[in-house]
Structure 1
Amino acid sequence: MNVVITSEVLTAYYLCPRKAYLLLYSKERGNLHEYEEILLKNQLKSQSKYLELLEKKCSDISTYSFSNLQQKPEFLTDAELIVDNLQAKCAILRRTSKLNYEPTIFIGTYTINHTDKLHLMFVGHVLAKILGQPPDVGHIVNIQGESRRFKLEGSHKVFSPLLESLQNWLNESFLEEPPVILNKHCSTCQFREQCRAKAIQEDSLSLLDKVTPKIVHQYEKKGIFTVKQLSYLFKPRKRKKRARKPPAVTHDLKLQALAIRTGKIYLQEMPTLTRQETELYLDIEGLPDQNLYYLIGLLVRQGEKIEYHPFWADDIDNEKQIWQDFLTIVAQYPNTPIYSYGSYELRAIKTLDKRYETNNQEVIARLVNINKQIYGKIYFPVYSNKLKELANFIGATWTAPDASGIQSLVWRHYWNDSHESQYKLKLITYNQEDCYALKLLVEELERIKYSADVLSDVDFAQTPKSQISEAGEKVRSQFEMILRFASVKYEKRKISFSQGQVSEGGKRGGTKPSKTMPKPNKCVQVPQVDACFQCGYTPLKLMETRTSRTIIDLVLAKNGVKKIVTKYFGFHGYCAKCQRNYPPPKLLEFERHQFYGHGFKSWIVYQRVALRLPLQSILESAKEQFNEQMSSTRIPYFMKNFAEYYAETEQAITKRLLESPFIHVDETNFSIKGVNWYVWVFTNGEYVIFKLTETRETTIVHQILENYGGVLISDFYTGYDSIPCKQQKCWVHLIRNLNKDLRENPFDIEYEGFIWKIKNLIIPIMETVQKNGLKKFYLQKFSTQVDKFYINSIDNKQYKSELVSKYQQHFKKYRDSLFAFVQQDGIPWHNNTAENAIRHIAIQRDISKTSFHEEPTRNYLVLLGIRQTCRYQNKSFFRFLFSEETDIDNFKSRKTKKRNK
């Protein structure tokens, strides 16, 4: 069989590879949809009319043939272009001044879509093969005879991947039939019936709405091929109790599949709809291609009384009138909700309001989109959330068995041509039945809202109803009571009615016991105030009033840490002139309830930050090692105190970072009260700072790196792409992904070959780095190999493998930022430095296993940045804290002295 690729096959492959396969190899041609027949009829009518006008204006017109082509007339018509295994039809070829020809094609619609452009590109490609030179431009003429000009230069980049795939089909001795993947184009496809039947037979995942080939492929890699198999993946998940933000509303395909398998309605959220005595139901019919709204249907329910109002427009001239009639009726029912389904009605109302300048925002505010009450919240046992499917499930019917949005376009076309009343009646009936279906759906939501607990066909997704009997429930509750007996805290929490019996927890409330201070090791008398703070009078009179403060502290000894208790005391000074008395200034340096000195706080902070110990473990260590018993609230207080003390240290680190020729950045999620926040790290391998943000938006990166002139080294998170500075992407991340995909796709030969090309490029570069370091002098010679790699493997190269195509786009996008280290001295090719710095956070997160709070986390990050800076500079964080120094650059760790033998 002589198989040729036509423009119809090419555009079919763009929409659905299976359709292209059936057009090429199947004897069955299917049933062309009435809508497609109308478009074809409109196209031929427009083409005929255009040719008639052309023949009146120009006489140098010939029908296309090879001999006529050699004579170079001004116009060639009805061209059937055939070369190799390609065939394209073109209505008109117009000669240009370069003795070349430009193609003109016709379409049966008012607007031009992507498939029309593909058709024109394919015609231009075939014509170029015949003439030996490509046309510069082509023309598309719509149903109104309006011609639009399109550049064809460089168009091969768009259609060549499609054409190459089709040509590979022709070269294969055995071609496997593409799987059924239903999509939005199926409604008008000539093979729609047989494909849907096959999909139902196979229980295809594509039966579910919004399932793309990519999603199907992802599930197939996990061994999930059917809707039934997918349904078993759903697992109820409880929302975190501390989460302050509601989860994003998304559609769960697994739950949809479960609903289909069980035949139940599943609730993620209860309906929030509030019914009223009077309600309006709206459905609008239009011609999107012409931007015309010709039928506005309004169903009014007042108690048991129902009235339907259709507002019909013969053409665009009547549209304004039906809009005003609609507004008049709606105004009779103020503050009444207007129910609609989907976003089409909202867009139509906004368009009409703007078009006729009625400025009726009140109507827009009253619109209630019922789809929002269902999407991601209520799962009916149907394949999609389209109104027809949902309403059919709950019992709605339509007079016309083929009633649909596409069919309404067909009826409107027939009415435009004939003005027969039967088509107008069909459209009004269809619109009215849509309104009734919407009303039925609203009633179903109300039924679910008030009766979900007792309805057998309704269940809760996250907390399924218990099917246990009354006797079983009694046994279950008794077992639960036994389990509570085993609780560690049960004895403390239980209420006792025995006289004189007191629980172990002791009395609640009352005064907080004061801390018993240990006996001081030494006493230090501090001097009194020299002069009056108010008037400067001197000398002050020494008073008998004495003030003291006992401070527990730790100091670094020769072989460890030593606890000391110091009592500071002094006498007040009295100003005879102002009659004021002043305590010793040294004692004013201590806070009101301060018991611990800088050394003790340093030890606590080190345990928390450097050793990552939980709070209770730190308290236990303090008690066992130093006989100090504290409340757990003191540790966050110490952290806050030190974060403020070392604020200027963080500022100095930030300044040093911004002076660096490069900065590494990375981020990780961090739970704050059950909600995911993000921690960001900035480092150059010597200085480190951390920042906390509520979202993953890169605003903080923009703020810190504003006016930064160095190189930013990061992973491939797209948020970093907007940072206005030079960048180097992490090759470690890229290589990990390449290896992962190689393991998961062992039979993708094209991908394996692509990996070899990358290996041949990057291995010599890495060997040079290992031998000579990150020096431009040795690395810039590889710029030529990089350019060759892009010419031979990336630019203008077409791949069949989706995986290779993905990485091809990846390399195109990050061409400059993948090889910045080749062009500059000392720029790292990986982001391991940032990952190592932020790994501490991940470990702390896993150790704590609890949610943090915002302010303590920010304090923790300030100190962690200082700790990591000390680590990268090989300085003791422990001794730095004890030294009370705030400038890391000035601090020098005490060197260990060598012992004499």
Structure 2
Amino acid sequence: MAKVITSQILVAYAQCPYKAFLLMCGEPSRELHEHEQIVEQQKSHVKTKYIDVLKKDNPNVQLYQQNNLEHGIDYLINAQLSIGTLLATCCFLKKVNDKSSLGNFSYEPNIFIGSYQINETAKLELFFIGYVLAQIQGCLPNVGHIITVDGKSHRIRFKNIEKNLIPILEPLQRWVTSLSSEPPPIILNKHCPICQFKMLCRAKALQDNHLSLLNGITPKAIRRYEKKGIFTVKQLSYLFKPHKRKKGKRNKFDNTHKLELQALAIRTGKIYLQYLPELCRQSTELFLDIEGVPDQDLYYLIGLLVCQPDTIKLYSFWANTAEEERQIWQQMLAVINQYSNAPIYHYGSYESRAISKLAKRYKTSSDTIIQRLVNVNSYIHGNIYFPVYSNSLKEIGSFIGATWTSPVASGLQSLVWQHYWQETSDTQYKDCLLTYNAEDCHALKLLVDELSKIKTSADTLSEVEFSEEHQKQKNQIVTEISSQFETMLNFAHMDYDKKKINFRQDTNQSIHEEVKKKRGVKKGYEGQRRINPKATKIIEVPAAVNCPICNNISLKITTRLATRLIINLVLTKNGVKKTIIKYLGNKGYCPQCCKFYNPPVISKYGHSQLYGHGFKAWLIYHRVAMRLPYESISEMMQEQFGEKILAGSIVTFIKDFAQYYSETEKFIIQSLLKSPSIHVDETTINIKGFNWYGWVFTNEEYVVFKLSETREATIVHELLLGYTGILISDFYAGYDSVQCRQQKCWVHLIRDLNDDLRETPFDTEYEMFVLEVKNLIIPIMEAIQKYGLKKRVLEKFKKEVDKFYQLFITDKWYRSDLVIKYQKRFKRYRDSLFTFLEEDKILWHNNVAERAIRHLAIQRDISTPFHESSTRNYLLLLSIQQTCRFQGKSFFKFLFSEETDIKKFKAVKH
């Protein structure tokens, strides 16, 4: 029997490729799930009723036949549209006045569905019918119609339907033409509960211990694991490795669900904890479970279990009709309001969404109730791993001892019971629903009790294990042994005799603490006692003339002397020279404010300042430009100039210079914002154990660095507010929202393409895609190399870009995940990838920003964790250093010059 692609098979492929394969290969039919049978019955009922009315109102209604189609019959019912290997079943075709190969008319397809809401499956079925019909009548219908179970007809536009159909039709066509097609892998998914082949597939998956048994795992994740040779849940469990939480994680709890840990829990049969559940139990608690019909947006049963120290009472609020929904909502509110401080436990997001909808529907305030809701699932997801395949209440509940009267009890089955109750009013179905709802409430309470038990007794429960860093916290012996080993390593210290080591952990104070520190010295720095050196030069300076406070009041010169000793470094032709100058001058006295004033030359130095500008400049240059650690700078200063400087002093000098050059930074920013293009990049900086971000902005002449606590692009928006030039950056999404024209970095794109090409040598489709990208960009690069970044030369390539998008990007379907990934990137950045073709001297890469930020990255790797305040000061000075570098100016000489206007300072002559 020849294979054909039917509507059923096409829709099945969208749900599960293996299901489509079984249907195409003639797998013996299995009974549909009761819910699917109900949907089909409702579809048949509305179809019969609608067609009867159609025949009554329109005499020109006939069964579909090829000649009837050509004769232009108004309505053709039960159409079997066949062309080649495609066979589409359409409930009826309606004639419209649009030209086609049939004549001055064409047909639009109409289908029925057994639900109130239109889903993607129904649209796909309609698109397939339209696709086949288009090949028969020579044109694609403008619209089709889907008639829901309430008899309403919904108009669906046919636009870009190939985008939805071709990815499905191509593999199905290969199955049709192949003599012996290999079946696709069995991958369990969310469609399985209503599939007629679910028992067959699950048995096979359990036999193979397939990865898709894990609820929530995606086909993409399965392929990624298979590339590593991981095909079973057991194999996956061995990938889990306990490790410490990374520094830089600001959020205390990382609740990402770890599939490897879930697999480990299944293999060992134990409960694994990432973090202890932080449930706060109270004497009175409420447990909520709501049943509804999502297709009708209806809620018919609210179960509320009220638990107090002495009593447990179950409330079941039942609505026989949609009109009674308001009543059960108000009844629930009345009971909940009796226990105003009690938490309301629920499982999943269904209940919270239901409360929000009902509150809006009946104009009731729900803020206080929503604040009391406690989603128990949020305490489990990513934190607690039970040895089950999914985190559904049924699976976890069954593991901890909860039971359900009906062996098929589930949310899906409740829809079946509710339908039968509505159709027959048989109380057995209502009883099933009430029992199921009550058992869900009790299972939820049992789960909350289990979480409380785990919280209080996790260290003693044999079935509970800690993961990651908690495993180490659990074993105090390991901690003690590790501590003593660390102490043994300290034997290697060269000052062991001074600071002896005590192996006893219970000693209140170790011997090395007996070394006394100088009182008043900042903790963490060694005390320093210095004797002022002898001055090599004494300079007498004139006294102040006028009082700085009383304006023009003349000062009276007194015999009191003011002195200041300044140690400085002076830049000479032959190098750097140390000077020790003592400034000496008479103090002036103001008879009006009765104060003494130092000479101006002495007043410009701080009250206790000992070091001059050149001295500080030498230290800062070695820190900022040479990237030396503080200890190395101190050692060099002592070796070369005989001055002992502490690390804390260098930090203070950096702060002083940051204030001194603050206007220089403002000038750099102003100059940047006037430029036609700005390059931007970012990198991480370790601030006291947390990842902060350093940002660089440059235009190849001026450079400025900024610091932010997170990677959010707020600082970019603030700095570039009102900027009208072009922003050149990588593909970090934070830059996309900046309100200016942009150019994305082709170097990043080519690097990513190349890396993926090496890692996937057997992906021929991706290889061909990369080849087409190369064919597009290489001629452009050759033109740039020959003629430079000139608009009149490069804009000629815009036609080639449009052709590339038309042939390989827009509305093109690919099988390779990698090609799809880059196709999306090319679509998203269509305008910003080729801005350099439209303007003069706009770079196609972001190497300028990377060149500027590389200095910071190296300093980051050399230095110990930074502090926020000192890092901001350091980045300001680094902005000036990199600006000098880009302009060919000596940063060393700029610092010694005491100039703040970087534009006035001349570049080095070569």
The TM-score with structure 2 as length reference comes to 0.94
Q: Residue 328 of structure 2 corresponds to which residue in structure 1? A: 322
- Secondary structure, counterpart of 1:258 in structure 2: helix
Q: Which of 180, 187, 198 is 1:192 aligned to?
A: 198
Q: Give, in whole Å, the separation in 2 of the partners of 1:277 and 1:209.
A: 35
Matches of 1:35 and 1:362 in 2, distance apart?
A: 37
- Superposed CA deviations along residues 154-192 of structure 1, whole A, max 9, x for unmatched, are 322332222233223334455332222222121112222
What letter is aligned with 1:754?
A: F
Q: 1:672 deviation in Å? A: 1.7
**1:641 alignment counterpart:** 656
Residue 814 of structure 2: aligned partner: 799
2:789 is aligned with 1:774 = yes
| Most deviating of 745-754 and 247-256 | 247-256
Q: CA deviation at 1:453?
A: 0.8
Alignment CA distance shift 1:674-1:541 (3 Å): same
Q: 2:866 matched to which residue of 1?
A: 852
1:895 corresponds to 2:905: no
Separation in structure 1 between the aligned mates of residue 174 and residue 740 of structure 2, nearest angstrom: 43
Secondary structure, counterpart of 1:593 in structure 2: coil
Task: Give the match for residue 738 of structure 1.
Answer: 753
Task: Quote the Cα distance in structure 2 between the aligned partners of 1:873 and 1:470.
Answer: 59
Rate the CA distance shift 1:169–1:871 in 2: closer, same or farther, 3 A.
farther
Residue 689 of structure 1: how far off its partner (Å): 1.0
What's 1:42 paired with? 42
CA deviations 1:380-404 (Å, max 9, x no partner) are 1112211111111111111111111
Rounded to whole Å, the distance in 1 between the matches of 2:774 and 2:478 is 65
After superposition, the C-alpha distances for 1:444-487 in whole angstroms (9 at most, x for unaligned) are 11111111111111111124657999999998887676556667
Give the Å deviation of 1:528: 0.8
Indicate the residue corresponding to 2:14 in structure 1.
14
Partners of 1:839 and 1:277 in 2: CA distance: 59
CA deviation profile, 1:741-780 (whole Å, cap 9, x unmatched): 1112111112111222111111111111111111122222
Q: Give the Cα–Cα distance (whole angstroms) in 1 for the partners of residues 177 and 234 of structure 2.
A: 37
CA distance in 2, matches of 1:510, 1:69: 101
SS in structure 2 at match of 1:255: helix
Tell me whether 653-662 or 453-462 shows the greater mean CA deviation: 653-662
Aligned ranges 1:191-590 → 2 under 5 Å? 191-239=197-245, 245-463=251-469, 465=471, 482=488, 492=499, 505-507=515-517, 509=519, 514-536=529-551, 539-590=554-605
Asked if structure 2 preserves the Cα contact closer than 8 Å seen for 1:524 and 1:569, the reply is: yes
Give 1:831's aligned residue: 846
Match of 2:55 in 1: 55
Deviation at 1:247, TM superposition (A): 4.2
C-alpha distance in structure 1 between counterparts of 2:374 and 2:841, whole Å: 60
Tell me whether 75-84 or 507-516 shows the greater mean CA deviation: 507-516
Structure 2 residue runs without a partner (length 5+) = 99-104, 522-526
Q: Distance in 2 between matches of 1:106 and 1:677?
A: 57
Alpha-carbon separation, structure 2, partners of 1:620 and 1:683: 34
Counterpart among 855, 870, 882 of residue 896 in structure 2: 882
Offset at residue 87 of structure 1 (A): 0.9
Deviates more, 1:258-267 or 1:428-437: 258-267
- Do the aligned partners of residues 319 and 542 (structure 1) sit closer, same or farther apart at CA in structure 2, a change above 3 Å counting? same
8 Å Cα contact 1:880-1:893 kept in structure 2? no
CA contact (8 A) 1:537 1:575 kept: no
By how many angstroms is 1:25 displaced?
2.2
Counterpart-to-counterpart distance in 1, 2:482 and 2:656: 51
**Which has the larger displacement, 373-382 or 288-297?**
373-382
How do 1:80-229 residues align onto structure 2 when only pairs under 5 Å count? Answer: 80-98=80-98, 99-172=105-178, 174-229=180-235
Change (3 A) 1:492 1:888: same
Question: Residue 168 and residue 591 in structure 1: after superposition, are their counterparts in 2 closer, same or farther (change >3 A)?
Answer: farther
Preserved contact between residue 776 and residue 822 of structure 1 (Cα < 8 Å): yes
> Aligned residue for 1:29?
29
Whole-angstrom CA distance in 2 between matches of 1:240 and 1:493 = 33
Question: Cα RMSD over matched residues?
Answer: 2.5
* Contact kept in structure 1, 2:730 and 2:745, CA below 8 Å: yes
Partner of 2:610: 595
Cα distance in 1 for partners of 2:626, 2:754 equals 35
Which residue matches 2:704? 689
Deviation at 1:230, TM superposition (A): 2.1
Between the aligned partners of 1:483 and 1:615, the Cα distance in structure 2 is 25
Q: Unaligned 5+ residue runs, structure 1? A: 897-901
Secondary structure at the counterpart of residue 155 of structure 2: strand
Distance 1:301 1:686 in 2: 71
1:859-870 maps to which residues of 2 (within 5 A)? Answer: 859-870=873-884
Please say if residues 249 and 376 of structure 1, whose CA atoms lie closer than 8 Å, have aligned partners that are also in contact.
yes
SS at structure 1 position matched to 2:664: helix
Q: Which amino acid aligns with 2:324?
A: N
Which residue type is aligned with residue 492 of structure 1? Answer: K
Counterpart contact for 2:31–2:196, Cα < 8 Å: yes
The residue type paired with residue 348 of structure 2 is G
| TM superposition shift of 1:492 | 2.9
Indicate how the Cα distance of structure 1 residues 51 and 889 shifts in structure 2: closer, same or farther if over 3 A, else same: same
Q: How far apart are the structure 2 equivalents of 1:520 and 1:871?
A: 36
| TM-superposition CA deviations, 1:43-91 (whole Å, max 9, x none) | 1111111111112211111111112112211111111111111111111
* Whole-angstrom distance in 2 between the partners of 1:325 and 1:616: 73
Going from structure 1 to structure 2, the CA distance change for 1:503 and 1:577 (only over 3 Å counts) comes to closer
Shift of 1:503: 6.0
Alpha carbons 1:243, 1:673 under 8 Å: kept: no
SS of 1:809 mapped into structure 2:
helix
Q: 2:731 aligns with which of 703, 713, 716?
A: 716
Residue 540 of structure 2 contacts residue 583 of structure 2 at CA under 8 Å; is this kept in 1?
yes
SS in 2 for 1:78: strand
Counterparts of 1:328 and 1:625 in 2: how far apart (Å)?
Answer: 84
Cα offset for 1:734?
Answer: 1.1
Shifted more, 529-538 versus 297-306: the winner is 529-538
**Distance in structure 2 (CA, Å) of the matches to 1:707 and 1:866:** 24
Contact between 1:670 and 1:677, CA under 8 Å: does it hold in 2?
A: yes
Tell me, in whole angstroms, the C-alpha distance in 2 between the residues paired with 1:522 and 1:364.
78
- For the 8 Å contact 1:554–1:597, the answer to whether it is kept is yes
Q: Counterpart amino acid of 1:875?
A: K
SS of alignment partner, residue 629 of structure 1: coil
> C-alpha offsets along residues 585-619 of structure 1, whole Å, 9 cap, x if unaligned?
22221112221111111111111111111111111
The alignment partner of 1:817 has SS state of: coil
* Aligned-pair CA distance for 1:494: 5.5
Contact persistence 1:683–1:833 (CA under 8 A): yes
Deviates more, 1:311-320 or 1:778-787: 778-787
**How far apart are 1:228 and its partner, in Å?**
2.0
Aligned to 1:552, the other structure's residue is in SS state strand
Q: C-alpha displacement at 1:505, in angstroms?
A: 2.6
Specify whether residues 387 and 578 from structure 1 end up closer, same or farther in structure 2 by C-alpha distance, changes over 3 A only: closer
Name the CA distance, whole Å, in 2 between partners of 1:298 and 1:602: 73
Question: CA offset at residue 219 of structure 1?
Answer: 2.0
Find the aligned partners of 1:282 and 1:795 in 2 and give their Cα distance.
Answer: 49
Letter in 1 for 2:795: Q
1:114 to partner: Cα distance: 1.1
- The equivalent residue for 1:899 is none
